[in-house]
């Protein structure tokens, strides 16, 4: 309880210092308190007669994954994901992502503990959409996405949520590993590195889990899906580069708006061609089935920017060596850290060129609703 009081006091002080509304922090505190209050040990949920067979099966799998993450991936062995909460809704929080009209860089918000991140989250969907609408009125590009899980970085014993297990299968494995990875390594003010780290461990661990199960069909499907994610990521990166060229020109704002829309039209055509090479797989149809803007691109690249380099490092050094390199980054300045990350990224691309193969470096799936966040929702 003392920790909780300190948390609430810190949030209140920070709201004054940062100029953010006190109501925003109170909704964050209230949402977190609601989660903590409703927690029930998974073992007790399994024993309850009213627990559905599907939930019971999923929670048994959670316990197995939790053990696997600790023993095989070196992730924290703590109280997180050993309890359960049914929220009675599809998402735990809704994240607002924003970018300026003529920029492909994210707007960042700064919070206690988590530092500066490229999204702002709400436990109430309508509150998130009101905030997004206000940013729209100010001329920003925005998007709002439901999130099925987030981590308090070990400050609290995070529960498993119904939103995390409803999709079942590989998704549950990936989510738990991703969220626990945030508790293993987290660097304030660096969303791209944090998400790339968690995603690298998530994909490595998910494939290791599937290999242990010996389901060759599941492994093949997983690897095919990873290749499609990689292809999609390149599509987004190429679009960002096109838009940077448009925004850097000395044209009028109206000319830039027209060129921006034309650029998104080109991206859609490229997706159609890419989709045909996938045998008409529909993984990302929903992502394209809406008006697109700069914020949608940012919501993908937050997870993907450094991922190829981190996957190269993980595959080359193994988990312990990889974790050691991540911890060493904490002692570097932001500019020194960027140089190191660029070096690893270069090594990954050099390897791809040298062996002539397509590197499978998966990210958090931008086609599905958001799956991760940090301390403040």
73-91 mean pLDDT: 95
Which phi-psi region, left, alpha or beta, contains residue 186 (left: φ > 0; alpha: ψ -120 to 50)?
beta
Span of 211-220, 236-245, 288-297 with lowest mean pLDDT: 211-220
The Cα–Cα gap between 332 and 327 comes to: 10
Specify whether the CB–CB gap between 223 and 355 falls below 8 A. Answer: no
Q: To the nearest whole percent, how much of the chain has pLDDT over 90?
A: 69
358-363 mean pLDDT: 38
The Cα–Cα gap between 358 and 351 comes to: 10
Alpha-carbon Rg of the chain, whole angstroms? Answer: 21
- Would you kindly state where each structural domain of the chain is located, as residue ranges? 1-38, 40-213, 217-355
179-202 mean pLDDT: 93
The Cα–Cα gap between 336 and 107 comes to: 23
Query: In 3D, which of 364, 320, 374 has the Cα closest to residue 73?
Result: 320
Both tokens of residue 150?
A: 């987030």
> What pLDDT, in 10s, does the model give residues 254-275?
999 999 999 999 999 999 999 9
State the first-to-last Cα distance of the chain, in angstroms, to the nearest integer. 20
Both tokens of residue 254?
A: 């109206």
Specify whether the CB–CB gap between 83 and 160 falls below 8 A. Answer: yes
184-191 mean pLDDT: 90
pLDDT at 348 exceeding the cut of 90: no
Q: What is the pLDDT of residue 186?
A: 93
Which pLDDT band, with edges at 50, 70 and 90, does 367 fall under?
A: very low
Q: What is the pLDDT of residue 357?
A: 45
Span of 19-23, 222-226, 266-270, 330-334 with lowest mean pLDDT: 19-23
Which pLDDT band, with edges at 50, 70 and 90, does 370 fall under?
A: very low
Which pLDDT band, with edges at 50, 70 and 90, does 349 fall under?
A: confident
pLDDT at 6 exceeding the cut of 50: no
The dihedral over CA atoms of 297, 301, 303, 307, expressed in degrees to the nearest 10, equals 150
46-68 mean pLDDT: 95
Mean pLDDT of the chain: 87
Which pLDDT band, with edges at 50, 70 and 90, does 97 fall under?
A: very high
Sign of CA dihedral 74, 77, 79, 83: positive
Q: How many CB atoms lie within 10 A of CB 280?
A: 8
pLDDT at 15 exceeding the cut of 60: no
126-149 mean pLDDT: 96
Q: What is the pLDDT of residue 242?
A: 97
* Position with higher pLDDT, 351 vs 184: 184
Query: In 3D, which of 99, 43, 32 has the Cα closest to residue 66?
Result: 43
DSSP letters for 82-103:
SEEE--SSS-SEEEEEEE-TT-
pLDDT at 8 exceeding the cut of 80: no
As beta bridge partners, residue 116 has 110
Q: What is the pLDDT of residue 17?
A: 39
Q: What is the pLDDT of residue 20?
A: 53
Which pLDDT band, with edges at 50, 70 and 90, does 39 fall under?
A: very high
Q: What is the pLDDT of residue 145?
A: 94
75-93 mean pLDDT: 95
Q: Which residues contact 154 (CB under 8 A, 6 or more apart)?
A: 76, 78, 80, 183
Annotate 340-368 with three-state secondary structure.
HHHHHHHHHHHHHHHHCCCCCCCCCCCCC
Q: Which residues of 226-253 are buried (b: 16+ CB within 10 A; e: fewer)?
A: bbbbbbbbebbbebbebbeebbeeeeee
Q: What is the pLDDT of residue 301?
A: 86
pLDDT at 80 exceeding the cut of 60: yes
Which pLDDT band, with edges at 50, 70 and 90, does 283 fall under?
A: very high
Environment class of 339 (CB within 10 Å of its CB; exposed 0-12, middle 13-18, buried 19+)? exposed
234-242 mean pLDDT: 93
Secondary structure of residue 143 in the 3-state scheme: strand
DSSP letters for 35-59:
HHHH-EEHHHHHH-TTS-HHHHHHH
């Amino acid at each position: 309880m003392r920790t909780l009081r300190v948390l609430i006091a810190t949030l209140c002080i920070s709201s004054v210092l940062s100029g953010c509304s006190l109501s925003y922090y109170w909704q964050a505190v209230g949402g977190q308190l609601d989660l903590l209050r409703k927690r029930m040990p998974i073992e007790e949920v399994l024993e309850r007669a009213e627990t559905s067979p599907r939930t019971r099966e999923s929670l048994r799998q959670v316990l197995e994954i939790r053990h696997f993450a600790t023993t095989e991936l070196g992730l924290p062995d703590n109280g997180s994901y050993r309890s359960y909460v049914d929220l009675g809704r599809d998402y735990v929080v809704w994240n607002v992502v924003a970018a300026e009209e003529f920029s492909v860089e994210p707007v960042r918000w700064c919070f206690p503990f988590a530092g500066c991140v490229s999204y702002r989250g709400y436990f109430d969907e309508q509150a998130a959409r009101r905030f997004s609408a206000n940013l729209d009125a100010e001329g920003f590009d925005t998007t709002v996405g439901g999130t099925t899980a987030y981590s308090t970085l070990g400050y609290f014993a995070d529960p498993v949520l119904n939103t995390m297990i409803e999709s079942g299968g590989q998704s549950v494995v990936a989510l738990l590993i991703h969220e626990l990875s945030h508790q293993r390594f987290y660097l304030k003010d660096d969303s791209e590195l944090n998400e790339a780290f968690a995603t690298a461990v998530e994909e490595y661990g998910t494939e290791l889990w599937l290999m242990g199960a010996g389901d060759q069909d599941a492994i093949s499907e997983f690897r095919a899906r990873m290749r499609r994610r990689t292809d999609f990521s390149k599509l987004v990166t190429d679009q960002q580069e096109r838009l940077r060229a448009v925004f850097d020109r000395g044209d009028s704002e109206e000319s830039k708006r027209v060129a921006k829309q034309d650029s998104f039209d080109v991206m859609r055509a490229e997706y159609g061609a890419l989709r045909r090479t996938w045998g008409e797989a529909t993984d990302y149809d929903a992502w394209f089935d809406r008006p697109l803007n700069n914020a949608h691109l940012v919501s993908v690249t937050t997870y993907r920017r450094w991922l190829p380099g981190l996957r190269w490092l993980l595959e080359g050094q193994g988990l312990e060596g990889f974790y050691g390199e991540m911890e060493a980054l904490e002692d570097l300045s932001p500019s020194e850290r960027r140089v190191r990350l660029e070096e690893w990224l270069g090594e990954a691309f050099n390897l791809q060129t040298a062996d002539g193969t397509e590197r499978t470096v998966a990210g958090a799936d931008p086609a599905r609703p958001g799956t991760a966040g940090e301390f403040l929702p």
